[in-house]
Amino acid sequence: MAERLLTPALTVFEQMAVDEVLAHTSGPAPILRFYHWTEGPAVTFGYSQFYNTVCKQVPASAGPLCRRPTGGGIVYHGKDLTFSLIFSSSLRPAEIYAKLHGAIERALTLAQLVDSSRQGTVPGAAYAPMRQGIASGCFASPVQDDLLADGHKILGGAIRRFDGKVLYQGSLQYAAARENPAFRRAVTAGAEQMLGVTFQTGVLREDVLAKARALSVEQYQTDGWLKKFA
């Protein structure tokens, strides 16, 4: 059964850990999860980015920093609607972005929430974790099939495969996206259309949460992970 999981408020380190534990331990049915954040902003950066370069660009006031298990660039989490999707697929990443973002775009339009378009083809250099000594910012550098509104990127995501499963981590940065439940419904509808499923509401199991909290401490909060590429 495809599940839309409810979770308690989590720190940025716990958010990353929950996604990884779910990717390793969940069954074949897809899982959609909207992040429920603890109070205050946070920042994530792509798996392959250099920590010292990221630190030079991110002010301390932006909140704690955490390296994601997925790729991409720097993402500021303060008012965004952040979510993850775990599913089995043999599609290439470019195909996943095109299908998922296209489905979410249609759902947002149908709900009359956003008049958006998709980014067309961009040079290969746009995907680099760092350009000219500056760490790439996810929402400063749209790549193909990211969603745009009024010329600005509003939806981007990053992917990693775990044992045949795809972990997609996405951020929708649009006014009131986090507070307005209509945006959650639109993202859910897009994911359902792309995967051909209907999500049923579920709750994160306590044993999974316990594993994630342990992984948060043992991996995501450590210098070994944060400074993996310094």
146 pLDDT above the threshold of 60: yes
Does residue 208 form part of some domain? yes
For 50-99, what is each residue's pLDDT tens digit? 999 999 999 999 999 999 999 999 999 999 999 999 999 999 999 999 99
Residue 106 lies in a domain: yes
Please give the residue range of the domain that contains residue 166. 3-216
CATH of the domain at 30: 3.30.930.10
Is 226 domain-assigned?
A: no
What length does the chain have?
230
Question: How many domains is the chain built from?
Answer: 1
Q: Is residue 225 part of a domain?
A: no
Q: Is the separation of the CB atoms in 171 and 155 below 8 Å?
A: yes
Query: What's the rounded mean pLDDT across residues 20-45?
Result: 97
The answer to whether residue 191 sits within a structural domain is yes
Closest to 80 measured CA to CA, from 157, 14, 162? 157
In a domain, 222, yes or no: no
Q: CA–CA separation, 188 vs 110, rounded Å? A: 13
Quick check: 225 pLDDT over 80? Answer: yes
